[in-house]
Structure 1
Amino acid sequence: MGDMTDHQAMPETTRSSAATARADQQEALKQKVQHLMIAVESILRARPAGISELDLIRALQAPPWELLETVDFSSPERLYPVHFLTFHALYRLRDDIGGQGEQLSISPLLIRLGPGQGSPATSALAESDKLRAFYLDLDQYALSEQTVSQMMDDFWAGRSGRQPAAGEVSDAAVTLGFDRVPDHFEEVKYRFRRAVMQAHPDRGGRTEDVQALNEAFGVLRVYYVTRDT
């Protein structure tokens, strides 16, 4: 009977240790978020004209903050954790300053902290609330790469609601440097990664170029998803 009791106790001990480890990780994550919020507010107040998400991430990586790890901008799945934490901090900060006569505008191309303005349209507010709910849920931070990849597929497929037109697909292929639409998506992913690395602002490129590549990649992604289903 004693052996059975010991055998039964071991899983409970393991579960307890795992729960403690998860609690410690959550606490460390919350502390990191607090530091991110302080850093983000400081950066935004120093740049009243606004800043792009890519530039904000670079600022958070650089001294004196050094709060974010190195980012692989050519891999959406690996970029996701850094993107999520950045936007989580932004939405937390927006809630904190909401009653102080200031407004925090949040989008990948322009993040700006400025004087409060009128209420947005109902449809825009509803969409904003959906994004806010998603980014404030820290459980969304620890998604697997497979889940993030599926989310990307679902996003691009749902964004258009249809298979892209032939002209859109051809233009997207040209943007990524192809003479024609490749037969396989693997070719697109390989070319996309190379193009993003060459166009990245750290190598003398422009944020707008990276955005154009992302849009082209998204069009081709939904093309292959809808073509193969």
Structure 2
Amino acid sequence: MNDLNPALDLAEQLHELLREAPAGISEFHLIQQLKARHSTHIPHLELADKLVLFRTHFLLFNALYVLRDRLWQQQSAHLEIGPLCVQLQLWRPGSNALAEHDPLRDYYLNLQHLRETTEDDVEKLLASFWTRMQGGDEKRAALELFELNGDQPLNLATIKLRYRQLVSQHHPDRGGSTSRLQSINLAMEILQRYYG
């Protein structure tokens, strides 16, 4: 155990739990298992509070991405990370999954998001999620955010060019907003599903 890096310690605990669940395990059950084992790396509070829920989720996914990177570097296993199922899989030689840009990985490995996200931000994220789940047109919203017309012929190269322009324009290092950049990254993830 490494006291200087709590995320690594949580990653080790998660690795143990995942080895015990070869068929995979949900995020909720991982949290329950960690609480049952008295892990000191996640809040031991009720998940009814939205900010506690967000912070618990963020800490868990941060550690999962740390673990995934470590397993990939060791070429010992592949970690499939999803909200409904997290599963440890056999190492696949030649896999370049981590070489590709992964906005979710970038988000969860940046602890600034954990520190800066307020209860109001969590409310907005949840409202956005439920709007999409209730049939909101995520593709249309993403195209609108990118200021692209869905009627014109679009391809992934055009969308990526627009993405890079928006990231450059709205990056916090250049005076932009972190929340705006998160929205741009989410929109890119959505558009990649439709045009990738």
Choose which of 78, 83, 86 in structure 2 pairs with 1:108.
83
Using the TM superposition, give the Cα deviation of residue 32 of structure 1 relative to its aligned residue in structure 2, in angstroms. Answer: 2.1
- The two structures, once aligned, show a CA RMSD in angstroms of 2.7
Using the TM superposition, give the Cα deviation of residue 153 of structure 1 relative to its aligned residue in structure 2, in angstroms. Answer: 2.1
Q: Does 1:59 align with 2:33?
A: yes
Matched residue type, 1:96: R
Structure 1 length as normaliser, TM-score?
A: 0.49
Q: Report % sequence identity.
A: 34
Using the TM superposition, give the Cα deviation of residue 106 of structure 1 relative to its aligned residue in structure 2, in angstroms. Answer: 0.7
How do residues 20-169 of structure 1 correspond to structure 2 at under 5 angstroms? 31-63=5-37, 65-99=39-73, 100-117=75-92, 119=95, 129-142=102-115, 143-157=117-131, 160-162=135-137
Matched residue type, 2:84: L
Matched residue type, 1:112: Q
In the alignment, structure 2 segments of 5+ residues that lack a partner are: 139-196
Q: Could you list the per-position Cα deviations for residues 10-42 of structure 1 after superposition, in whole angstroms to 9, with x for gaps in the alignment?
A: xxxxxxxxxxxxxxxxxx8x6321220111111
In the alignment, structure 1 segments of 5+ residues that lack a partner are: 1-27, 164-229
Using the TM superposition, give the Cα deviation of residue 151 of structure 1 relative to its aligned residue in structure 2, in angstroms. Answer: 2.0
Structure 2 length as normaliser, TM-score?
A: 0.57
Deviant stretches of 4+, over 6 Å = none
Could you say what secondary structure the match of 1:98 adopts?
A: helix
Structure number with the higher helix fraction is 1
Using the TM superposition, give the Cα deviation of residue 156 of structure 1 relative to its aligned residue in structure 2, in angstroms. Answer: 3.6
Q: Distance in 2 between matches of 1:146 and 1:88?
A: 21
Report the structure number with the largest CA radius of gyration.
1
